């Protein structure tokens, strides 16, 4: 039974529909939940509403995620479906989402293929493992309306790969990234920590490059105005700058102000009563969004949807627990039946700071030096400039006018590895084009910004 689907915000319903498509339980207009259990949590829109969000980050500590079934039980899929919500400037359903998932499968395929797990023979194969994947599956969009660029070397473990997937043979090209090696073996004494960071990048018109394919295997040019959204994934303190998603500005100008992140479980084997065959425990912490000037903690959550009983499911060994600073997704333990929450409408209130541990330093470790485009741009009177440093060294960040004269030095000193941001205040400067220059460790980059007073 799918419960309380209609009692959601428009954006939440959009995310839910895409979620169901990604796991293949909407087909030809029919909604199925047979043999599946799970509960979806959303940020409570009555308690969170912050426009112009440009960055989202959250962390998962995986202490168990079994991909080898107990005894002679059959293998069943486990998915932690995290969904990033976006909102655009359009007037007709200006929402979309991109999935960022954990699952007990890895995938193997040739990079950049158009593939399917249901072709004969399958061009995408799967194997039991701890796997991660990203997905932009948009059932009503043309292939020219969203795209994906893989930024990391596809041979670097865990071998992130880009694939244009005909998911469940539904007839449209999802822009997906999967890990093609086992991420690791999570245990309570040696958990695997995964942190996602989603950051708004440049706005581009008719971007040039190979970012999208149709199901015939042809590259399709992107047409229109797009926001480039960067997805970085940190695994046990190693940061992978994985991909840029090109999303239309009508649907994804910002991260959604009320629906930035959803956390959802998909556990197969419920009708069979075998959830205990593959246990899972994933603890989510440090969920925050950033609007260019301050951080906002995602503290108030509500369960809006539950899958159970669609095929006579009787399982109750799944759900969510909370210790007031985190949300923990659990499955397969006998105690889950009595200690985890599954009912639609249940609320969780967390208590942690809005600001990250370091107010202007992201603790993830970038692998390259880099200077990002300021945001917003144009601006009045303040804008945020972000940059990354890959090794401890002396750094300067300077602002120049159009004649090349130095206006201000924003940074001047030794800085360690990290992602930094600083604010330029143009209150005392005239409207004009300005340049900002990062010099660090032999690396130099210059970008333009426009102050409009």
Binning pLDDT at 50, 70 and 90, where does residue 392 land?
confident
Q: What sign for the dihedral angle of Cα 340, 345, 350, 353?
A: positive
SS3 18: helix
Residue 317 CB contacts under 8 Å (≥ 6 apart), including other chains: 275, 276, 331, 332, 333, 334, 336, 337
pTM: predicted TM-score of the whole model, two decimal places: 0.76
Q: What is the DSSP string of 202-228?
A: EEEES--S---B-TTS-B----SEEEE
Residues near 383 by Cβ (< 8 Å), separated by ≥ 6? Answer: 292, 374, 375, 376, 377, 423, 424, 426, 449
In this predicted structure, what is the pLDDT of residue 31? 33
Task: Provide the b/e sequence for 347-384 (b: ≥16 CB within 10 Å).
Answer: ebebeeeeebeeeebbebbbeebbbbbbbbbebeeebb
What pLDDT shows up at residue 365?
Answer: 47
pLDDT score for 91: 83
Q: Count other C-beta atoms under 10 Å from residue 207's C-beta.
A: 19
Q: Is 151 exposed, middle or buried (0-12, 13-18, 19+ CB in 10 A)?
A: middle
- Share in percent of the chain as helix, strand, coil (round to 5): 5, 50, 45
Q: What is the mean pLDDT of residues 194-215?
A: 93
Q: Which residue has the higher pLDDT, 399 or 170?
A: 399
pLDDT by residue (tens digit) across 233-256? 999 988 888 999 999 999 999 999
- What are the residue ranges of CATH 2.60.40.2550 in the chain? 366-451
Q: Is the dihedral of CA 27, 138, 169, 40 positive or negative?
A: negative
Q: What is the pLDDT at residue 359? A: 39
Instruction: Give the pLDDT confidence score for residue 311 in this predicted structure.
Output: 56
How far, rounded to the nearest angstrom, does the alpha carbon of residue 142 sit from its chain's CA centroid?
22
Q: Strand runs (DSSP E) across 118-171, as ranges?
A: 125-136, 147-150, 160-166
The pLDDT of 132-143, averaged and rounded, is 94
Q: Tell me the fold of 366-451.
A: Immunoglobulin-like (2.60.40)
Neighbours of 222 (CB within 10 A): 23
């Amino acid at each position: 039974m799918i419960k309380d689907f209609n009692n959601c915000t428009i954006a939440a319903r959009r995310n839910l529909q895409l979620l169901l498509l990604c796991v293949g339980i909407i087909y030809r207009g029919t909604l199925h939940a047979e043999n599946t259990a799970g509960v979806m949590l959303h940020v409570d829109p009555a308690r969170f509403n912050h426009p112009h969000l440009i960055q989202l980050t959250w962390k998962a500590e995986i202490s168990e995620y079994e991909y080898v079934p107990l005894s002679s039980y059959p293998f069943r899929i486990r998915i932690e479906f995290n969904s990033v919500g976006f909102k655009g400037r359009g007037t007709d359903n200006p929402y979309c989402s991109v999935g960022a998932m954990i699952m007990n499968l890895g995938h193997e395929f040739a990079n950049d293929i158009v593939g399917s797990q249901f072709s004969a023979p399958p061009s995408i194969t799967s194997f039991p493992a701890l796997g991660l994947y990203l997905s932009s599956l948009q059932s009503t969009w043309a292939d020219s309306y969203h795209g994906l660029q893989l930024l990391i070397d596809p041979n670097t473990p865990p071998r992130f790969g880009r694939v244009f997937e005909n998911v469940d043979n539904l007839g449209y090209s999802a822009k997906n990234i999967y890990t093609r090696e086992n991420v690791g073996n999570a245990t309570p004494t040696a958990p695997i920590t995964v942190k996602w960071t989603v950051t708004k990048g440049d706005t581009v018109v008719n971007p040039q490059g190979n970012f999208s394919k149709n199901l015939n295997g042809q590259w399709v040019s992107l047409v229109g105005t797009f926001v480039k959204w960067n997805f970085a994934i940190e695994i046990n303190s190693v940061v992978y700058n994985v991909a840029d998603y090109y999303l239309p500005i009508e649907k994804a100008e910002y991260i959604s102000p009320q629906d930035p992140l959803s956390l959802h479980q998909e556990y197969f084997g419920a009708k069979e009563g075998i959830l205990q065959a593959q246990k899972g425990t994933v603890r989510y912490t440090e969920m925050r969004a950033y609007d260019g000037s301050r951080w906002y903690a995602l503290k108030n959550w509500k369960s809006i949807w539950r899958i159970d009983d669609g095929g006579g499911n009787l399982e109750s060994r799944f759900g969510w627990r909370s210790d007031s600073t985190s949300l923990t997704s659990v499955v397969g333990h006998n105690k889950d039946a009595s200690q985890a929450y599954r009912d639609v409408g249940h609320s969780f209130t967390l208590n942690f700071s809005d600001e990250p541990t370091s107010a202007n330093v992201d603790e993830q470790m970038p692998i390259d030096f880099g200077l990002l485009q300021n945001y917003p741009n144009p601006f009045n009177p303040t804008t945020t400039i972000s940059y990354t440093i890959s090794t401890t060294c002396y750094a300067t960040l300077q602002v120049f006018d159009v004649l090349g004269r130095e206006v201000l030095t924003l940074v001047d000193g030794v800085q360690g590895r990290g992602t930094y941001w600083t604010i330029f205040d143009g209150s005392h400067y005239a409207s004009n084009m300005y340049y900002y220059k990062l010099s660090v460790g032999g690396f130099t980059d210059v970008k333009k910004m426009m102050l409009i007073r």
